[in-house]
Amino acid sequence: MIDVVGLGPGAGGGRTADAQAALAVADVLVGYTAYIALIRTEYPDKPVFDTAMRGERARCEEALRLSRAGKRVALVCSGDAQVYGMAALLLELSQETDDIRVVPGVTAALSAAALLGAPLSGDFAAISLSDLMTPWEMIERRLHAAAQGDFVIALYNPMSRKRTDQLRRACEILLQYRSADTVCGWARMIGREGEQARTLTLAELREAQVDMFTTVIIGNSSTRLRFGRMLTPRGYAL
């Protein structure tokens, strides 16, 4: 059996009880090296198969091989295994006889929003700015659509060492629909050492320098700051 486990934002406190239980009963842990490191001290005696970034297929194939050999496997991801995670690839590579359970986790949009206040109280969209698997033209179409719909937007993978321009380009698209003083925020290293969070305007966000460990939240037309925290009112009569 394979449990595809979302570890949440980082520290064990952001992990669901079902995720914790799946890790505890696993015979083998499989995952990206950096994510295995988050849980290694908790399970020092469990065998591990880990690979560097872009080793996703190898991890899924090894998890399937181990499971078919009778091992209980935890294939781990950060956040939630379905949201830019490993669950889809594993299911694509699986056979009908494979026993697979997807264990939900706390995705970065939720943990970032919690640090920033309450920006996701209504409809919102999650968009990754990584063009490794999605053409940039499609990402731009999704940004235009989300902006036109006045969605609060959670941006995943906003910038990396090689992708330094996508966040600025995304902000320029959004500035076609939203004012420069639209309330935004970012959070990085959520639940880990070095955790940070900051609120800023859309104009300021366009010039911001962030990294791949950062999640960005862009408010809609009703999002505002209240006592320094992002708030998108739900619409209750006060």
Helix or strand holding residue 73 (H, E) = strand 73-77
Q: How many Cβ atoms sit within 10 Å of the Cβ of residue 98?
A: 15
Could you tell me which of 10, 7, 8 has the C-alpha nearest to residue 26? 7
pLDDT (0 to 100) of residue 236: 85
What does pLDDT average to over the chain?
95
Amino acid symbol at 202: L
Could you tell me which of 151, 138, 159 has the C-alpha nearest to residue 217? 151
pLDDT at residue 10 tops 80:
no
What is the average pLDDT across 34-46? Answer: 93
Q: Tokens 């952001």 — which residue? A: 14
pLDDT (0 to 100) of residue 173: 98
What is the average pLDDT across 165-186? Answer: 97
Q: Tokens 């629909």 — which residue? A: 177
Kindly indicate the confidence band of residue 35, based on its pLDDT and cuts at 50, 70 and 90.
very high
**How does pLDDT run across 141-159, given as a tens digit for each residue?**
999 999 999 999 999 999 9
> Could you tell me what percent of the chain has a pLDDT over 90?
90
Of 8-17, 25-34, 56-65, 88-97, the range with the lowest mean pLDDT is: 8-17
pLDDT at residue 11 tops 80:
no
Give the tokens for residue 212. Answer: 């791949």
pLDDT (0 to 100) of residue 117: 98
Q: Are 217 and 120 in contact (CB under 8 A)?
A: yes
Kindly indicate the confidence band of residue 161, based on its pLDDT and cuts at 50, 70 and 90.
confident
pTM (2 decimals)? 0.93
Q: Are 91 and 118 in contact (CB under 8 A)?
A: no
Please give the angle made by the CA atoms of 131, 74 and 216, to the nearest 5 degrees: 35
Kindly indicate the confidence band of residue 15, based on its pLDDT and cuts at 50, 70 and 90.
very high
Kindly indicate the confidence band of residue 163, based on its pLDDT and cuts at 50, 70 and 90.
confident
Give the tokens for residue 103. Answer: 């264990």
pLDDT at residue 53 tops 90:
no
